[in-house]
Amino acid sequence: MHKLPARGIYAPTLTFFNPDDDSVDIETTVAHALRLARAGLAGLVIMGSNGEAPLIEPDERKAIVSAIRRALNESGLGALHLIVGTGAQSLRLTLKQTRDAAQAGADFALVLPPSYWPPAMTKPVLSAFFDKVCQQSPIPVLAYNFPLVASGINFTSDDLIDIAKRQPNLVGAKLTCGNLGTVQRVSSALGPERFAVLGGRSEFVLHGLVGGSHGTIGALVNVAPAAHVALYRAYTKGDLKAAQEMQAIISAADGDVSKLGVAGLKGLVCEIAGWGKDKASVRSPLLAAKLPPSVFEKGSSVSRLLQLEADVSKP
């Protein structure tokens, strides 16, 4: 039996850059990862969409994963699972990045389908691609279903179930598609001991758990990790009322923060952490975002989320 990602909340970590030369700011990237890890998360996702993965060079990817793994180990947090995005447009590069991630300390590989030529990415082509990735990967694999960044390519529940039944090394999926029906069908068909379904948005953490998910990988976890963990724990303890109340706050904020994009999310994190605007730089062609003043206004969805974060973080 292949190991599965731990149940709970995961943060898709951000990658920070030095504004003067656009190089990776390893120190801040690691500091942010540790801040998240200390909030009680089940693990971290590195080199995802919010980590600006398409803009990161292979050597930088490996260095980032290695630095975060080393920092977690040295901080007594080595048990946290690291899921690393390794998908690329070719099988060859996908496998290289997967091997690099494994050598750097990753526990799982998260793989987007190739999507540059959408009409050519038929079901047999994608099935063969994932068969080869799963067979040759040195670590367990999760499929990443995110049609918005994959030219509309969308895995159905049957697609995921079929590949998983053939390939024991496919142990889960991140569903940023937001299809709760897929969460339910895949979880029911494969079983929670065989396959970990992880939601890909904070707006449906609770909904996914009810449908059988193992947890959530949500961009908003970067802003309020403790609030997400509190929601998860309330549900697992059977306090549905508290979980619903927290989900309402998180869902509202997720809707508003998602409109800010990757650059806006990074700016928001830097503002909360007190790191200053220089740390909020993004890699070209992305442009830094200016946060609207309304984000922090009293009564805004973000201010209510930050209040929840403060409340659940009290000793």
Query: Omega of the bond prior to 285 within 30 degrees of 0, cis?
Result: yes
Dist CA 34 CA 51 (whole Å):
15
Q: In this structure, what token pair is assigned to residue 311?
A: 């409340």
DSSP string, 73-138: HHTT-TTSEEEEE---SSHHHHHHHHHHHHHHT-SEEEEPPP-SSGGG--HHHHHHHHHHHHHH-S
Question: Which residue of the set 62, 174, 266, 279 is catalytic?
Answer: 174
Write the DSSP symbol of residue 295.
Answer: G
**What are the two backbone dihedrals, phi and then psi, of residue 106, each rounded to the nearest 5 degrees?**
-70, 145
Look at residue 216 and give its three-state secondary structure. strand
**CA dist., res. 81 & res. 10, Å (int):** 9
Asked if 232 is an active-site residue, the reply is: no
Contact 3, 171 (CB under 8 A): yes
Q: 142-178 b/e with 16+ CB inside 10 Å = b?
A: bbbbbbeebeebebbbebbbebbeebebbbbbbbbbb
144 is catalytic: yes
For the beta carbon of residue 232, count every other beta carbon within 10 angstroms.
Answer: 23
Q: Is 217 annotated as ligand-binding?
A: yes
SS3 175: strand
The single residue of 10, 144, 232, 235 carrying the catalytic annotation is 144
Binding residues, as ranges, are 217
Binding residues for pyruvate, as ranges, are 217
Residues carrying an active site annotation: 144, 174
